[in-house]
């Protein structure tokens, strides 16, 4: 029992920390004695501290994970996959919070609830990663989505932000409904919601070849709900508008954190429970469609955030390759892909936030950045080259491993589409570099120096992206353990 308490201690800690921060913010920001102070930076630093303490608690609980634990009435499961996905999620949350502080000052943004919402959605995603039952999975997804709806509309003076929040609310509620409908159909057909029981029932169906339209439709609806949440084509239509309208830190968080937790959930439910030919075909199609649309639509974009939105859709296509394989190598390559994608995206959005001081919105505004701020231009170029998959950067390693997994399971068409779309993708990533280094802008913009926390973040992540190829084996061995634990 004590061991199980230790296993959920990180989640218990971060929930308590979030509520304490909420009370702290409410009490002090409305206090006449302290002259109604703006508390957003204060709460931000405390939030960052609580995320880092949660990380330490997770790392301290690692020795308990030699075998998988089921706890809380078997609603949650702790194993290697849970542990590493949660660590990656907390790192991305810490990265997102640490690049917000300058944004708060620039935009005079003083709603401390923003940080509380980030922490609450992180709590729900921690539960989502370890969810081992359809009910706990759905509740965690809903809590996460509710926080995101408010965060997307958190810039109250901007009509773009309000529009983004409203669009996300309507379309997100629609996708949650589809997901819940799928869960209810599976429960109606099998009488089970626990992943272990579902695995036994569905394996029986696979072996005997019996057909149940209820189970088939349930799995289909759940897959559609998940694909909507990770912005895979053809369920991507909400992403570009919401990414562009939301405040930039929210866009960064939206394009990183939910993908980690949803992919962990997909692996839990589908690979362990019910991976059949139908699912493979769905993910095969979505992977190809996302890669093609991500590459072609991004070529027409003129705004930085929309370009990053389509780039994120393309990357989801690449990551789905790993899932379409259905092999251990495929899952391992998927996990490597997510890990590297998270760091590249934090890097890209930190740079966009550093350029926000001068209202950089269009790609043309980046003209001659190399002359006015050479270090920022070089960092952005490294990130773009890594996105494009140019060796020896980290992005190349992830694509290389994903394509090899596809070739290993005989999906030659998938790998060839991936290679072709990577080449097309190079065009718009390298066009960005060309604008920064060789174009002359209509109006010259002088950039102010970056704040310290963003410069530290960019320095660490850029060196990771550049030097990853020298020593990739720790990540490979860790992801191999995770892939194995999703089967065992």
The whole-number pLDDT of residue 357 equals: 61
pLDDT in tens, 398-408: 999 999 999 99
In this structure, what token pair is assigned to residue 309? 């939105």
Sketch the domain layout of the chain as residue ranges: 276-487
The whole-number pLDDT of residue 102 equals: 82
For the entire predicted model, the pTM comes to: 0.93
Is 80 exceeded by the pLDDT of residue 9? yes
Phi, psi of 217 (to 5 degrees): -65, -35
- Segment (H or E) for 70: strand 69-71
pLDDT in tens, 168-202: 999 999 999 999 999 999 999 888 888 888 888 88
Burial code (b: 16+ CB inside 10 Å, e: under 16) for 47-71 equals bbebbeebbebbeebeeebeeebbb
- Residue 70's DSSP bridge partners are 77
Quick one: which of 280, 287, 243, 228 has its CA closest to 417?
287
CA dihedral 327, 329, 332, 334 (to 10 degrees): -70
- Residue 76's DSSP bridge partners are 71, 131
The whole-number pLDDT of residue 196 equals: 85
Q: Give the SS3 label for residue 133.
A: strand
Quick one: which of 122, 50, 136 has its CA closest to 88?
122
pLDDT in tens, 270-317: 877 666 777 888 889 999 999 999 999 988 888 888 999 999 999 999
Mean pLDDT estimate for the chain? 87
One DSSP character per residue, 182-236 reads HHHHHHHHHS--BHHHHHHHHHHHHHHT---HHHHHHHHHHHHHHHHHTT-TTS-
User: How many whole angstroms separate alpha carbon 346 and alpha carbon 39?
Assistant: 25
The whole-number pLDDT of residue 73 equals: 77
pLDDT in tens, 87-134: 999 999 999 999 888 888 777 777 788 899 999 999 999 999 999 899
The whole-number pLDDT of residue 206 equals: 65
Token pair 């694909």 is found at 227
pLDDT in tens, 434-483: 888 888 877 777 777 788 888 999 999 999 999 998 989 999 998 988 88
Q: Indicate the pLDDT class of residue 2, thresholds 50, 70 and 90.
A: low
């Amino acid at each position: 029992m004590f061991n199980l308490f230790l296993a959920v201690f990180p989640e218990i800690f971060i929930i308590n920390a979030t509520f304490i921060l909420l009370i702290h913010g409410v009490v002090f920001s409305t206090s006449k004695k302290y002259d109604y102070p703006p508390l957003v930076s204060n709460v931000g630093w405390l939030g960052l501290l609580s995320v880092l303490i949660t990380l330490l608690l997770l790392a301290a609980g690692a020795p308990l994970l030699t075998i998988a634990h089921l706890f809380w009435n078997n609603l949650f499961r702790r194993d290697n996959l849970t542990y590493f996905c949660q660590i990656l999620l907390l790192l991305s949350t810490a990265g997102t919070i640490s690049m917000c502080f300058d944004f708060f000052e620039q935009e005079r943004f003083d709603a401390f609830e923003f940080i509380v919402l980030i922490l609450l959605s992180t709590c729900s995603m921690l539960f989502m990663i370890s969810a081992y039952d359809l009910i706990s999975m759905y509740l965690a997804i809903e809590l996460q989505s509710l926080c995101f709806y408010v965060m997307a509309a958190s810039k109250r003076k901007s009509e773009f932000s309000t529009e983004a929040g409203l669009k996300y609310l309507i379309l997100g509620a629609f996708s949650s409904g589809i997901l819940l409908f799928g869960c209810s159909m599976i429960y109606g057909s099998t009488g089970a919601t626990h992943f272990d029981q579902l695995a036994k029932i569905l394996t029986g169906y696979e072996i005997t070849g019996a057909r149940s339209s209820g189970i088939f439709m349930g799995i289909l609806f759940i897959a559609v709900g998940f694909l909507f949440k990770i912005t895979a084509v053809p369920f991507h239509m909400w992403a570009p508008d919401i990414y562009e309208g939301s405040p930039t830190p929210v866009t960064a968080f939206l394009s990183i954190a939910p993908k980690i937790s949803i992919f962990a959930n997909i692996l839990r439910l589908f690979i362990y429970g019910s991976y059949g030919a139908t699912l493979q075909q769905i993910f095969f199609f979505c992977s190809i469609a996302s890669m093609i649309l991500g590459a072609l639509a991004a070529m027409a974009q003129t705004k930085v955030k929309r370009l990053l939105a389509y780039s994120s859709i393309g990357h989801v296509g690449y990551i789905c390759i790993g899932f379409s394989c259905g092999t251990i190598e495929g899952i391992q390559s998927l996990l490597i892909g997510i890990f590297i994608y998270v760091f590249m995206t934090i890097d890209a959005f930190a740079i966009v936030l550093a350029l926000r001081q001068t209202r950089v919105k269009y790609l043309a505004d980046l003209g001659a950045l190399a002359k006015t701020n050479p270090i920022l231009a070089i960092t952005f170029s490294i990130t773009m080259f890594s996105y494009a998959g140019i060796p020896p950067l980290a992005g190349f390693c992830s694509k290389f491993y994903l394509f090899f997994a596809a070739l290993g399971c005989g999906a030659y068409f998938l790998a060839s589409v991936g290679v072709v779309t990577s080449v097309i993708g190079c065009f718009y990533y390298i066009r960005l570099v060309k604008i920064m280094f060789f174009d002359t802008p209509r109006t010259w913009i002088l950039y102010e120096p970056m704040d310290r926390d963003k410069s530290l973040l960019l320095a660490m992540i850029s060196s990771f992206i550049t030097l990853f190829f020298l020593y990739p084996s720790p990540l490979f061995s860790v992801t191999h353990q995770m892939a194995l634990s999703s089967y065992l």
